[in-house]
Amino acid sequence: MAENTQQKDQASTHIELPEKYKGKYYQRFDGYSRILHLMVILSFLTLAVTGMVIKFADVAVFQFISSLLGGYEVTGFLHRVAAVLTFTYFVLHIHYLLRKRTKKKVSLKYMITGENSMVPRKQDLIELIGTFKWFLGMGPRPAYGRWTYWEKFDYFAVFWGVAVIGMTGLVLWFPEFFTSLGFPGWIINVSTIIHSDEALLATGFIFTVHFFNTHFRPDKFPMDMVIFTGSEKFEDFAEDRPRQYKILLEKGELDSRIVDAPPAWFIRTARIFGFTALTTGLLTVIMIIYSMLFVYK
């Protein structure tokens, strides 16, 4: 009975917001995290576009894009610059986690198994099942916490990408160095296949599944601005992350998260940048689909 009551409580998304929070803004992301995400966007878009230009070099539409960028020499240079930016934000993020753990004196166990952990837990499986039931009209919307299961998937996809795509990219960038270490010559060919196909998979996933989960959901369409502004109205926060809201309310930590509303000019700038990134990604997917269906059929 107690378990059923808890599940019903978690599934409920109706929250009566205290008067002092109505119309106020809640800070979800600090400036450091937003800068890192900006680096992710810039580097991934550059890698995706320049990478697909190289992969589909014999397709007219990508040849046209290459000419716009200044030719394949420029394309290759931009691809490597974006790769360096990728390794940079990855290292900065690891440093951020270590600094956060030391500053807040968070145990390693809590970082892995705690409520705000990015590591998948049993609760994520429950919410995954609950989400499908919600989609089918068989249950209420799950009461999501700090991180949802799809955000955790996206998060670790970056680690996978840096490890697999990044390392094979380094092999292709410095083939003489790696063969001088004793690696056989066929490792270059294998790296080419892995790097190319995994990059295609990552590009397709980010520009379709990630875009839908983040921006194209009915409650967020046409764009979720919180990663750019760092804050959102308490009403939106409580509705979107009811479990986290209740936890912070019970701990008395909500007042410390109140921030000023983002300036209008900043919101306009973020929208322009965001829609530019979305459009670039969607056009890239369309060109990839065209190339694979009509050129490589």
Q: pTM higher than 0.85 for the full model?
A: yes
> Can you tell me the mean pLDDT for 219-228?
90
> Can you tell me the mean pLDDT for 258-263?
94
pLDDT confidence tier of residue 12, bands split at 50, 70 and 90: very low
Q: Is the pLDDT of residue 6 over 60?
A: no
pLDDT confidence tier of residue 39, bands split at 50, 70 and 90: very high
Long-range pairs, 127-133, Cβ under 8 A, ≥24: 130/11
* Encoded amino acid at 7, one letter: Q
Q: Is the pLDDT of residue 11 over 50?
A: no
Estimate the crossing angle of helix 31-55 against helix 264-290, to 10 degrees. Answer: 20
Give the DSSP H/E element, type plus range, for residue 26.
strand 25-27
Q: Counting beta carbons within 10 angstroms of the beta carbon of residue 235, is it exposed (0 to 12), middle (13 to 18) or buried (19 or more)? A: middle
* Residue-level pLDDT at 220: 86
Are 282 and 211 in contact by the 8 Å Cβ rule? The answer is yes
Q: Is the pLDDT of residue 177 over 90?
A: yes
* Residue-level pLDDT at 297: 61
Q: Is the pLDDT of residue 247 over 70?
A: yes
Q: For the domain with range 20-128+140-295, which CATH number is right: 1.20.950.20, 2.70.98.10, 3.40.50.1220, 3.40.30.10?
A: 1.20.950.20
More reliable by pLDDT, 187 or 5: 187
> Can you tell me the mean pLDDT for 90-110?
88
In angstroms, the CA 49 to CA 32 distance is 26
More reliable by pLDDT, 19 or 129: 129
> Can you tell me the mean pLDDT for 169-193?
95
Mean of all residue pLDDT scores within the chain: 91
